[in-house]
Structure 1
Amino acid sequence: MNVVIYHNPRCSKSRQTLELLRERGLQPEVVEYLKNPPDAATLDDILARLGLEPRALMRKGEAVYRELGLDDPGLDRAALIAAMVANPTLIERPIVLANGKAAVGRPPEQVLAIL
């Protein structure tokens, strides 16, 4: 099974999710998304797999969210995705992809549903 985790090694939930996958014998492809952010098409695909709109995957407490005025209801999907690509700290983590599906590991056990 091909499993990908969008991971931030400084995040405890991300580390816990990665460990949970490894405990189940999986060796996921680890994408440190702060160093290698997904492009707009990939992020759009992840959102579709999650069944979420961009704001639902954004970390609204990040300073850059306020600085960029991302709470503006006039911003469309493409603008929000572009902001996430340009500022990957806005992307909630961790995200696990498996079996054509996606899940956010908050809590980490939530990713088990897609395995």
Structure 2
Amino acid sequence: MSPLEQVLVAARKLSLAGKPPSLALIKASLGNSLPMPILVQGLQRFKAMSADEQAAIVVTSTAPAASVPTDDTTPTLAQLTEQVARLTANQEILIERISDLEAKLNGKDAH
């Protein structure tokens, strides 16, 4: 398989996994074995293909595996709960800051 074909297969695997192919994802899935110009050329070619042409790319088990998140990298419920709590706290802080700024602004307008 040519280097360009490797890039096309990696892009197709990412696409099948529901991820839009990008240079970073393709490079991560293939490692540093291919030069950047080949990666760029392959990604450009893949994006220029019709859906039928993309579907014709044969994804074989001999091709390098794409770096697709597995169950090992899926966040747990506890991690997601913690993240929501942090985001909620940050949101409350920002709302308070906005309210303070609005109060100061309205106070200046009153004078």
For the pair shown, the structure with the greater C-alpha radius of gyration is: 2
Same fold (TM over 0.5): no
TM-score (norm 2): 0.28
Structure with the higher fraction of residues in helix conformation: 2
Highest relative contact order (Cα 8 Å, sep 6+), 1 or 2? Answer: 1
Structure with the higher fraction of residues in strand conformation: 1
